[in-house]
């Protein structure tokens, strides 16, 4: 056994492994390997603080995507507006949270004005003026519209049209989802992550459609006669009929939201079950749109689920294929049972140790990387 050669090989493998784990010159961008000269009070876009801040803003955007349509459809009504005019913004905890989210989005805009970026020449730009110009040409408009506190600007106006306008303007916060979608592209290589994101996207779209479905039913109920909309039908089914003299009558918010979400899920995944059905023309038109959206989502989302699951289990499929080849080799050469069992056990042990990786190919790749590092 050539011990010096083995030691040299081991040192070589260790060196290359450390280079890869430390993300060397060919793994990290060149600007991350150099100490950038930045202006005072400027934040590096790849610094730990910026990474934590981006995740915090991501969580706030997810919260906005869920609660803003719900608040605009279910919570903004005449009674809510009167109650808020009496005691201010301390009545509803969600309103306080919305104010905090608005403040965080404004702070995020200020941070983006002081965050470096990489230009087309792979150079870190830290000059405040150039950063501002780059941000103005990019995401500033979307971030600014999403950060405007519309409910504060139109506070105490006290009209039904203003309340509806607040709900519509607050949905402008959903524009920040465009930035989130771009940041989540980095997880597209992970099958489990893509599957989880697809299911979350489906649930989020169903949630938005449920809010629109309730808003249509609420408008139809207050403007049409006789009242045959799905909200009146729900009230009769639950034994909670609406009474015009009592504003608090009818099904609860929980009943209305769960029923609306059930309708959108059943319409997106099938043609519905008929126990929650559209009755007015507006509700029927919206149901047709939901069915069209559901067919498109089947093609774009659920059509990829089988491919993702197949990719997740590709390793298991390769294992069974290789095991079948080993057994065919044993059967062709008529290997006796003791040796046959040892061969199968060896294959199983080698597969569990290497997880099906071709070690010779990896070794050749590492040697080529080492020579590239040493001669560059």
Q: pLDDT tens digits, residue range 72-84?
A: 787 665 455 445 5
Question: Among 187-196, 251-260, 321-330, where is mean pLDDT lowest?
Answer: 187-196
For 310-326, how does the pLDDT look when each residue is reduced to its tens digit (9 = 90+)? Answer: 776 777 777 788 888 88
Q: Is the per-residue pLDDT at 27 higher than 50?
A: no
CB under 8 Å to 242, separation ≥6 — which residues?
221, 227, 231, 232, 235, 249, 250
> pLDDT band for position 5 (50/70/90)?
very low
Is the whole model's pTM more than 0.75, yes or no? no
Q: What local confidence, expressed as pLDDT, does residue 81 receive?
A: 47
Answer for the pair 122, 29: CB distance below 8 angstroms, yes or no: yes
Exposed (0-12), middle (13-18) or buried (19+): which is 340, by Cβ within 10 Å? middle
Stated as kind and residue range, the H or E segment containing 265 is helix 253-269
The pLDDT of 149-170, averaged and rounded, is: 61
Q: What is the DSSP letter of 72?
A: I
**Hey, CA dihedral for 267, 265, 281, 279, is it positive or negative?**
positive
Cβ(208)–Cβ(69) below 8 Å: yes
For residue 330, is pLDDT > 90?
A: no
Residue appearing with tokens 């607040």: 166
Mean pLDDT of the chain: 75
Q: How confident is the model at residue 24 (pLDDT cuts 50, 70, 90)?
A: very low
- The Cα–Cα gap between 228 and 220 comes to 9
pLDDT exceeds 90 at position 90: no
- Note whether 322 and 350 are within 8 A (CB): no
- Who wins on pLDDT, 64 or 304? 64
Note the pLDDT of residue 6.
45
With H, G, I as helix, E, B as strand and everything else as coil, classify residue 245. Answer: coil
Q: What is the mean pLDDT of residues 223-250?
A: 80
Lowest mean pLDDT among 25-29, 101-105, 240-244, 331-335: 25-29
3-state DSSP assignment of residue 19: helix
Query: Phi and psi (nearest 5°) for 246?
Result: -120, 105
In this prediction, residues 277-291 reach a mean pLDDT of: 90
Task: Report which of residues 240 and 21 the model is more confident about.
Answer: 240
The closest alpha carbon to 72, from 156, 173, 142, 146, belongs to 173
């Amino acid at each position: 056994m050539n011990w010096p050669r083995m030691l040299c090989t081991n040192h070589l493998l260790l060196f290359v492994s450390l280079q890869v784990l430390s993300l060397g010159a060919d793994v990290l961008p060149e600007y991350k390997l150099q100490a950038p000269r930045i202006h005072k009070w400027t934040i590096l876009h790849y610094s730990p603080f910026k990474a934590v801040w981006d995740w915090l803003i991501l969580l706030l955007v997810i919260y906005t995507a869920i609660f803003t349509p719900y608040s605009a459809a279910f919570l903004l009504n005449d009674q809510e507006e009167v109650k808020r005019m009496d005691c201010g913004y301390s009545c509803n905890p969600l309103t306080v949270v919305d104010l905090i989210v608005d403040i965080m989005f404004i702070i995020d805009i200020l941070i983006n004005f002081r965050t470096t970026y990489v230009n087309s020449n792979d150079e870190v730009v830290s000059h405040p003026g150039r950063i501002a110009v780059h941000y103005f040409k990019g995401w500033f408009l979307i971030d600014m519209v999403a950060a405007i506190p519309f409910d504060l600007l139109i506070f105490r106006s006290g009209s039904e049209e203003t309340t509806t306008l607040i709900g519509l303007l607050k949905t402008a916060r959903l524009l920040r989802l465009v930035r989130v979608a771009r940041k989540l592209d980095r997880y597209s290589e992970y099958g489990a992550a893509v599957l989880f994101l697809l299911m979350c996207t489906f649930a989020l779209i169903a949630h938005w459609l449920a809010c629109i479905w309730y808003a249509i039913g609420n408008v139809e109920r207050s403007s049409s006669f006789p009242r045959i909309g799905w909200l009146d039908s729900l009230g009769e089914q639950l034994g909670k009929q609406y009474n015009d003299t009592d504003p608090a009558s009818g099904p609860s918010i929980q009943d209305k939201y769960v029923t609306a979400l059930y309708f959108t899920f059943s319409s997106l995944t099938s043609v519905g079950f008929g126990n929650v059905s559209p009755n007015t023309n507006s509700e029927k038109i919206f149901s047709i749109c939901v069915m069209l959206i559901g067919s498109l989502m089947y093609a774009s989302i659920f059509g990829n689920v089988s491919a993702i699951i197949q990719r997740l289990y590709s390793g298991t499929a390769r294992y069974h294929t290789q095991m079948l080849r080993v057994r065919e080799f044993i059967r062709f050469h008529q290997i006796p049972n003791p040796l046959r069992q040892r061969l199968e056990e060896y294959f199983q042990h080698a597969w569990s140790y290497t997880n099906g990786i071709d070690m010779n190919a990896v070794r050749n790749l590492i040697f080529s990387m080492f020579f590239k590092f040493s001669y560059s």
